[in-house]
Structure 1
Amino acid sequence: MGVNLLEVLGSGPAHRISESDVRRFAEGGGTPAPAPTAAPAPALPEFAKFGPIRREAMSGVRRATVRSMAQAWSTVPMVTQFDKADVTEMEALRKRYAPRAEKRGGKLTMTAILLKVVAAALRQFPKFNASIDTASNEVIFKEYVHIAVAVDTPSGLLVPVIRDVDKKGVIAISVELGEIAAKARDRKLTPEEMQGASFTLSNLGGIGGTGFTPIVNWPEVAILGVSRSGLEPVWNEDKGEFEPRILMPFSLSYDHRLIDGADAARFCRFIAEMLEDPFLLGFEG
């Protein structure tokens, strides 16, 4: 009958919808379902009675973060997959070609390389480059690859978007990344430069830590978090001995409504293999 059941308030137990509810709604006599609202925050205790306090107004960036994170946490059932990649060869390659990027005005960071690797993974696994439309019970697959990059600024976390990453070379990405990160730190980003992402990358390797669980930025369905690389002993079967290798821990949080654990594990393995063998980037990227 063309009725969206999400708009119908059922008359049965726990608002179960019956055939008569649908017919009444179609004829204009039904009761619309109330819009979902977040539960009100409980009242805070009076902290001043325990000792001195100081209040400080949230910045606009922080208020926006509160809204978006609360919405993501209440909307997306998230799971996080953890993995490691041996980036020994990739790190050597990065240092080797860093001067070439500098001549073009960029800085060849691991984040720039990760953007290209993630773009290749999104093309290989299009489900991670999608969104869920619960109103129509459809999955929206995006034909573009726009990746948001979390930038730490004095004003808080900003997430500018680099567009069409799959169509750009690593050096071109490094130049654009440096430019847009500088705009973020200088608070010169336009609203358009923070919209339209289909996936997000958050690299905390420059600060430290061994792992974290990033929150999916709704309406995206996945986000990749990267932690600090470090030397670890890795067993070499051919040589029969341990070797010092640079391992990079990373974590993938994803929307379990669309992405299953096996999908996430394969996505992470693809990223690890691309980072471990730079030659693959020429084939898959």
Structure 2
Amino acid sequence: HAGPAVRMLARELGVDLGLVKPSGPKDRVLKEDVQAYVKQAIANQGKAQTAAAPAASGGAGIPAIPEVDFSQFGEIEEKPMGRLLKMGATNLHRSWLNVPHVTQFDEADITELESFRKAMKAEVEAQGAKLTPLPFMVKACAFALRKFPQFNVSLKGDGETLVWKNYVHIGIAVDTPDGLMVPVVRNADKKSLIEIAKEMAELGKKAQTKKLKRDEMTGGCFTITSLGSIGGTAFTPIVNAPEVAILGVSKAQMKPVWDGSTFQPRLMMPLSLSYDHRAINGADAARFTAFLADLLTDIRRLLL
């Protein structure tokens, strides 16, 4: 219960006296009780707004995309995202917001590589492997990471410390019906092309059948994502943080290339290298892609 003055104060402030904890004699509600209740309500409201801000703004102070009732435009169907798809979306969103991306584009002349690959096809298949262009990419990237160790690092959370890695594990993005998965070929720099091809086939099969283990998808130093079997001329892959670089491979096409005296038909493969500009500068990215293109143009360089 409360006196007339307290009830009037409560009406003016829009306070339900039934919610106010009394402190007066015989459980009487005092003015101080009403004022304390209002102060606490304002404080709680402020905390709730602060906690909701990241979700409402979409992160990093970016306004969220407004909700739209699509049913007003026609028939729709809503389906929840699968666990894998949802996890991938979270990781990609986090990387895009946290990593200052730059993409370096180049081309590699893989005419001779492709001739060698086709010539070795039957011999490799006899050893139980399938030699696609991708194992060559893995081997060349592993070689390039040894040549340019600044690409084989991770930036710690403090933003001031680089972790230099003395191992070379290459992640391969695999498209599955449930979403993107990135199995990892460990110690790729120490394995032969056939060993890499066999391991990639095994990992790819596990990815498609949802049998990949956690330790087969962790520890990557660098990722390759290839759309070469589908098409396209270039794209900007998102860095698979905490890695600092990712190589995108598009579909190789025959192009006329000037050899100094005439145009020659050459099979050119587009390369798209996205990198974290905090850890890697543009000049090094250009050197890396140029070196990688040289390796793919003449794979004998891998023996040096």
TM-score (normalised: structure 1): 0.84
Report what 1:10 is aligned to: none
**Runs of 4 or more consecutive aligned structure 1 residues displaced over 4 Å after TM superposition:** 34-38
- The offset of 1:37, in angstroms, is 5.3
**Are 2:150 and 1:118 aligned?**
no
Choose the corresponding residue for 1:74, options 97, 108, 114. Answer: 97
Greater alpha carbon shift after TM alignment, 46-55 vs 257-266: 46-55
Superposition RMSD on alpha carbons, in Å?
1.6
Report what 2:3 is aligned to: none
Report what 2:132 is aligned to: 109
**Which residues in structure 2 correspond to 1:1-285 (within 5 Å)?**
39-40=57-58, 41-135=64-158, 137-237=160-260, 240-283=261-304
- The offset of 1:42, in angstroms, is 3.8
> Greater helix share, 1 or 2?
2
**Kept in 2: contact 1:106–1:176 (CA 8 A):** no
Greater alpha carbon shift after TM alignment, 99-108 vs 112-121: 99-108
- The offset of 1:106, in angstroms, is 1.1
Q: Percent identity?
A: 48
* C-alpha distance in structure 2 between counterparts of 1:267 and 1:166, whole Å: 16
Greater C-alpha radius of gyration = 2
- The offset of 1:43, in angstroms, is 3.6
* C-alpha distance in structure 1 between counterparts of 2:84 and 2:148, whole Å: 32
* C-alpha distance in structure 1 between counterparts of 2:116 and 2:247, whole Å: 22
* C-alpha distance in structure 1 between counterparts of 2:101 and 2:201, whole Å: 31
**Kept in 2: contact 1:149–1:200 (CA 8 A):** yes
Which letter maps to 1:152?
D
* C-alpha distance in structure 2 between counterparts of 1:101 and 1:78, whole Å: 38
- The offset of 1:134, in angstroms, is 3.9
- The offset of 1:171, in angstroms, is 0.9
Greater alpha carbon shift after TM alignment, 95-104 vs 200-209: 95-104
Which letter maps to 1:273?
D
The one-character-per-residue Cα deviations of 1:259-284 (angstroms, maximum 9, x if unpaired) are: 0110000000010000111210111x
* C-alpha distance in structure 1 between counterparts of 2:101 and 2:71, whole Å: 36
Which letter maps to 1:277?
D
* C-alpha distance in structure 1 between counterparts of 2:96 and 2:300, whole Å: 38
- Structure 1 stretches lacking a partner, 5+ long: 1-33
- The offset of 1:175, in angstroms, is 0.7
Aligned residue-pair number: 248
**Kept in 2: contact 1:101–1:174 (CA 8 A):** no
Q: SS state of the match for residue 120, structure 2?
A: helix
- The offset of 1:133, in angstroms, is 1.4
Which letter maps to 1:144?
Y
**Kept in 2: contact 1:101–1:175 (CA 8 A):** no
Greater alpha carbon shift after TM alignment, 253-262 vs 133-142: 133-142
Greater alpha carbon shift after TM alignment, 244-253 vs 94-103: 94-103
Q: SS state of the match for residue 292, structure 2?
A: helix
* C-alpha distance in structure 2 between counterparts of 1:105 and 1:180, whole Å: 15
TM-score (normalised: structure 2): 0.79
- Structure 2 stretches lacking a partner, 5+ long: 1-49, 59-63
The one-character-per-residue Cα deviations of 1:110-147 (angstroms, maximum 9, x if unpaired) are: 10010000000000001111001142721100111011
* C-alpha distance in structure 2 between counterparts of 1:204 and 1:62, whole Å: 19
* C-alpha distance in structure 2 between counterparts of 1:175 and 1:101, whole Å: 10
Aligned in 2, Cα 1:262/1:64: closer, same or farther, shift over 3 Å? same
**Kept in 2: contact 1:119–1:145 (CA 8 A):** yes
